[in-house]
Amino acid sequence: MADAASPARTRVAIFISGRGSNMAALLYAAALPDAAYDVVLVATNDPQAEGLALAEAEGIPTFALSHKGMSRADHDAAMDEAARKAGAEFIVLAGYMRILTEGFTRQWQGRMLNIHPSLLPKYPGLDTHQRAIDAGDSHGGVSVHLVTPELDAGQVLAQMKVAIRAGETAESLAERVRFAEHQLYPRVLNDYLRMQR
Ligand code: GAR
Protein backbone atom coordinates (compact mmCIF):
# COMPACT_ATOMS: atom_id res chain seq x y z
CA MET A 1 0.00 0.00 0.00
CA ALA A 2 1.08 3.57 -0.56
CA ASP A 3 3.01 5.59 1.96
CA ALA A 4 0.42 7.68 3.82
CA ALA A 5 2.78 10.65 3.86
CA SER A 6 3.49 10.58 0.12
CA PRO A 7 4.20 14.20 -0.94
CA ALA A 8 2.54 13.64 -4.30
CA ARG A 9 -0.82 13.39 -2.62
CA THR A 10 -3.18 16.24 -1.82
CA ARG A 11 -3.99 16.68 1.86
CA VAL A 12 -7.71 16.58 2.55
CA ALA A 13 -9.86 17.08 5.65
CA ILE A 14 -13.16 15.21 5.83
CA PHE A 15 -16.07 16.80 7.72
CA ILE A 16 -18.78 14.50 9.08
CA SER A 17 -21.80 14.70 11.38
CA GLY A 18 -22.92 11.10 11.76
CA ARG A 19 -22.38 7.53 10.70
CA GLY A 20 -19.40 8.32 8.48
CA SER A 21 -19.86 5.59 5.90
CA ASN A 22 -18.74 7.92 3.11
CA MET A 23 -15.78 8.91 5.28
CA ALA A 24 -14.91 5.21 5.58
CA ALA A 25 -15.16 4.75 1.80
CA LEU A 26 -12.88 7.76 1.32
CA LEU A 27 -10.41 6.54 3.95
CA TYR A 28 -10.08 3.08 2.48
CA ALA A 29 -9.85 4.43 -1.06
CA ALA A 30 -6.93 6.57 0.15
CA ALA A 31 -5.17 3.33 1.10
CA LEU A 32 -5.04 2.27 -2.56
CA PRO A 33 -1.64 2.77 -4.19
CA ASP A 34 -2.85 5.18 -6.88
CA ALA A 35 -4.92 7.47 -4.61
CA ALA A 36 -4.51 11.19 -5.23
CA TYR A 37 -5.05 12.21 -1.62
CA ASP A 38 -4.25 11.58 2.02
CA VAL A 39 -6.80 12.17 4.75
CA VAL A 40 -5.05 14.42 7.27
CA LEU A 41 -8.07 15.18 9.48
CA VAL A 42 -11.60 14.02 10.22
CA ALA A 43 -13.56 16.84 11.85
CA THR A 44 -17.10 16.91 13.19
CA ASN A 45 -19.66 19.19 14.80
CA ASP A 46 -20.95 16.22 16.84
CA PRO A 47 -18.55 14.69 19.38
CA GLN A 48 -20.83 11.59 19.44
CA ALA A 49 -20.65 11.05 15.66
CA GLU A 50 -20.28 7.37 14.94
CA GLY A 51 -17.67 8.00 12.26
CA LEU A 52 -15.35 9.72 14.71
CA ALA A 53 -14.51 6.48 16.55
CA LEU A 54 -13.71 4.75 13.28
CA ALA A 55 -11.39 7.57 12.21
CA GLU A 56 -9.63 7.34 15.58
CA ALA A 57 -9.32 3.56 15.29
CA GLU A 58 -7.73 4.04 11.87
CA GLY A 59 -5.20 6.47 13.30
CA ILE A 60 -6.53 9.57 11.56
CA PRO A 61 -6.21 12.84 13.52
CA THR A 62 -9.64 14.08 14.60
CA PHE A 63 -11.27 17.30 15.72
CA ALA A 64 -14.68 17.40 17.41
CA LEU A 65 -16.46 20.57 18.43
CA SER A 66 -20.18 20.74 19.09
CA HIS A 67 -21.86 23.67 17.39
CA LYS A 68 -24.29 23.96 20.30
CA GLY A 69 -24.14 27.34 22.00
CA MET A 70 -21.84 28.79 19.33
CA SER A 71 -22.60 31.21 16.55
CA ARG A 72 -22.40 29.72 13.07
CA ALA A 73 -19.50 32.04 12.23
CA ASP A 74 -17.51 31.06 15.34
CA HIS A 75 -18.07 27.37 14.75
CA ASP A 76 -17.06 27.64 11.10
CA ALA A 77 -13.96 29.59 12.14
CA ALA A 78 -12.95 26.82 14.54
CA MET A 79 -13.45 24.14 11.88
CA ASP A 80 -11.48 26.26 9.42
CA GLU A 81 -8.62 26.64 11.89
CA ALA A 82 -8.54 22.88 12.57
CA ALA A 83 -8.41 22.13 8.84
CA ARG A 84 -5.62 24.64 8.24
CA LYS A 85 -3.60 23.46 11.25
CA ALA A 86 -3.78 19.94 9.84
CA GLY A 87 -2.40 21.29 6.58
CA ALA A 88 -5.54 20.48 4.60
CA GLU A 89 -5.61 21.78 1.04
CA PHE A 90 -9.15 20.56 0.34
CA ILE A 91 -12.25 19.94 2.43
CA VAL A 92 -14.50 16.99 1.66
CA LEU A 93 -17.98 17.17 3.21
CA ALA A 94 -19.29 13.67 3.87
CA GLY A 95 -22.64 13.89 5.61
CA TYR A 96 -21.70 17.18 7.28
CA MET A 97 -25.17 18.42 8.19
CA ARG A 98 -24.38 22.07 8.80
CA ILE A 99 -25.19 25.02 6.61
CA LEU A 100 -21.88 26.83 6.17
CA THR A 101 -21.40 30.58 6.32
CA GLU A 102 -20.77 32.47 3.12
CA GLY A 103 -17.33 33.47 4.45
CA PHE A 104 -16.31 29.86 5.00
CA THR A 105 -17.54 28.70 1.61
CA ARG A 106 -15.72 31.57 -0.12
CA GLN A 107 -12.47 30.69 1.71
CA TRP A 108 -12.62 27.17 0.34
CA GLN A 109 -14.41 27.74 -2.96
CA GLY A 110 -13.08 25.37 -5.61
CA ARG A 111 -11.40 23.39 -2.84
CA MET A 112 -14.48 22.00 -1.09
CA LEU A 113 -16.69 19.15 -2.32
CA ASN A 114 -19.97 17.78 -1.02
CA ILE A 115 -21.98 14.64 -1.63
CA HIS A 116 -25.74 15.01 -1.77
CA PRO A 117 -28.27 12.17 -1.95
CA SER A 118 -30.30 13.29 -4.97
CA LEU A 119 -29.90 13.98 -8.65
CA LEU A 120 -29.32 17.73 -8.31
CA PRO A 121 -30.80 20.19 -9.16
CA LYS A 122 -33.68 18.00 -7.95
CA TYR A 123 -34.24 17.97 -4.20
CA PRO A 124 -31.65 20.16 -2.53
CA GLY A 125 -31.91 20.14 1.26
CA LEU A 126 -33.41 17.34 3.35
CA ASP A 127 -35.73 14.32 2.86
CA THR A 128 -34.44 13.76 -0.65
CA HIS A 129 -35.42 10.09 -0.92
CA GLN A 130 -39.00 10.58 0.26
CA ARG A 131 -39.41 13.53 -2.10
CA ALA A 132 -38.20 11.44 -5.06
CA ILE A 133 -40.58 8.58 -4.13
CA ASP A 134 -43.52 10.95 -3.59
CA ALA A 135 -42.90 12.57 -6.98
CA GLY A 136 -43.11 9.16 -8.69
CA ASP A 137 -39.56 9.44 -10.01
CA SER A 138 -38.11 6.35 -11.69
CA HIS A 139 -34.70 7.05 -10.14
CA GLY A 140 -33.11 8.66 -7.14
CA GLY A 141 -29.40 9.02 -6.93
CA VAL A 142 -26.42 10.92 -5.76
CA SER A 143 -24.48 14.01 -6.81
CA VAL A 144 -20.97 15.18 -6.00
CA HIS A 145 -20.67 18.93 -6.34
CA LEU A 146 -18.49 21.90 -5.54
CA VAL A 147 -19.68 23.88 -2.53
CA THR A 148 -20.76 27.48 -3.02
CA PRO A 149 -22.62 29.81 -0.66
CA GLU A 150 -26.00 28.70 -2.04
CA LEU A 151 -27.07 25.37 -0.52
CA ASP A 152 -26.52 22.34 -2.81
CA ALA A 153 -26.22 24.61 -5.84
CA GLY A 154 -22.54 24.43 -6.82
CA GLN A 155 -21.27 22.86 -10.02
CA VAL A 156 -22.11 19.17 -10.22
CA LEU A 157 -18.98 17.12 -10.90
CA ALA A 158 -20.66 13.72 -11.26
CA GLN A 159 -23.89 11.85 -10.59
CA MET A 160 -25.02 8.25 -10.30
CA LYS A 161 -28.63 7.13 -10.75
CA VAL A 162 -30.25 4.55 -8.49
CA ALA A 163 -33.51 2.87 -9.58
CA ILE A 164 -36.57 3.33 -7.39
CA ARG A 165 -38.34 -0.01 -7.04
CA ALA A 166 -42.02 -0.70 -6.44
CA GLY A 167 -42.76 -0.44 -2.72
CA GLU A 168 -39.53 1.45 -2.06
CA THR A 169 -39.24 3.25 1.26
CA ALA A 170 -37.01 6.23 1.97
CA GLU A 171 -34.91 3.93 4.17
CA SER A 172 -34.44 1.21 1.57
CA LEU A 173 -33.61 3.77 -1.11
CA ALA A 174 -31.18 5.58 1.21
CA GLU A 175 -29.35 2.34 1.85
CA ARG A 176 -28.87 1.61 -1.86
CA VAL A 177 -27.94 5.21 -2.61
CA ARG A 178 -25.19 4.88 -0.02
CA PHE A 179 -23.68 1.97 -1.98
CA ALA A 180 -23.61 4.26 -5.02
CA GLU A 181 -22.12 7.09 -2.94
CA HIS A 182 -19.26 4.89 -1.76
CA GLN A 183 -18.37 4.08 -5.37
CA LEU A 184 -18.72 7.59 -6.68
CA TYR A 185 -17.17 9.86 -4.06
CA PRO A 186 -13.60 8.52 -3.95
CA ARG A 187 -13.51 8.28 -7.76
CA VAL A 188 -14.70 11.85 -8.27
CA LEU A 189 -12.40 13.21 -5.58
CA ASN A 190 -9.39 11.48 -7.13
CA ASP A 191 -10.28 12.75 -10.62
CA TYR A 192 -10.95 16.29 -9.42
CA LEU A 193 -7.69 16.52 -7.47
CA ARG A 194 -5.68 15.24 -10.43
CA MET A 195 -7.31 17.88 -12.65
CA GLN A 196 -6.22 20.62 -10.23
CA ARG A 197 -2.52 19.74 -10.52
C1 GAR B 1 -25.13 10.54 2.89
O2 GAR B 1 -26.19 9.87 2.27
C3 GAR B 1 -24.93 11.90 2.26
O4 GAR B 1 -25.23 11.94 0.89
C5 GAR B 1 -25.92 12.73 3.04
O6 GAR B 1 -25.82 12.26 4.35
C7 GAR B 1 -25.49 10.89 4.34
C8 GAR B 1 -24.32 10.67 5.27
O9 GAR B 1 -24.08 9.31 5.45
N10 GAR B 1 -25.60 14.12 2.94
C11 GAR B 1 -26.52 15.06 2.92
O12 GAR B 1 -27.71 14.86 3.02
C13 GAR B 1 -25.95 16.46 2.80
N14 GAR B 1 -26.97 17.40 2.47
P15 GAR B 1 -22.71 8.82 6.06
O16 GAR B 1 -22.50 9.59 7.36
O17 GAR B 1 -22.94 7.36 6.31
O18 GAR B 1 -21.63 9.09 5.07
Tens digits of pLDDT across the chain (197 residues): 545 444 489 999 999 999 999 999 999 999 999 999 999 999 999 999 999 999 999 999 999 999 999 999 999 999 999 999 999 999 999 999 999 999 999 999 999 999 999 999 999 999 999 999 999 999 999 999 999 999 999 999 999 999 999 999 999 999 999 999 999 999 999 999 999 99
| 116 domain-assigned | yes
| 4 domain-assigned | no
| 165 domain-assigned | no
| 149 domain-assigned | yes
Reply yes or no on whether 116 is catalytic.
yes
| 137 domain-assigned | no
In this structure, the chain runs to a length of 197
β partners of residue 116: 143
Mutate to test the pocket of ligand 1, among 46, 114, 128, 178 (most ligand atoms within 8 A of CB): 178
Distance CA 102, CA 20 (A): 25
Could you tell me which of 12, 34, 32 has the C-alpha nearest to residue 23?
12
- Domain range for 187: 10-126+142-160+182-196
Indicate which residue of 67, 75, 116, 139 is catalytic: 116
How many angstroms does the Cα of residue 117 sit away from the middle of ligand 1?
Answer: 7
State how many domains the chain has: 1
CATH code, domain with 97: 3.40.50.170
Kindly give the number of the ligand 1 atom that is closest to the alpha carbon of 22: 18
Whether 37 and 43 have beta carbons less than 8 Å apart is answered as: no
For ligand 1, atom 8, which residue shows the shortest CA distance?
95
| 112 domain-assigned | yes
Kindly give the number of the ligand 1 atom that is closest to the alpha carbon of 21: 17
% helix, strand, coil for the chain, step of 5: 35, 20, 40
| 93 domain-assigned | yes
For ligand 1, atom 9, which residue shows the shortest CA distance?
95
| 27 domain-assigned | yes
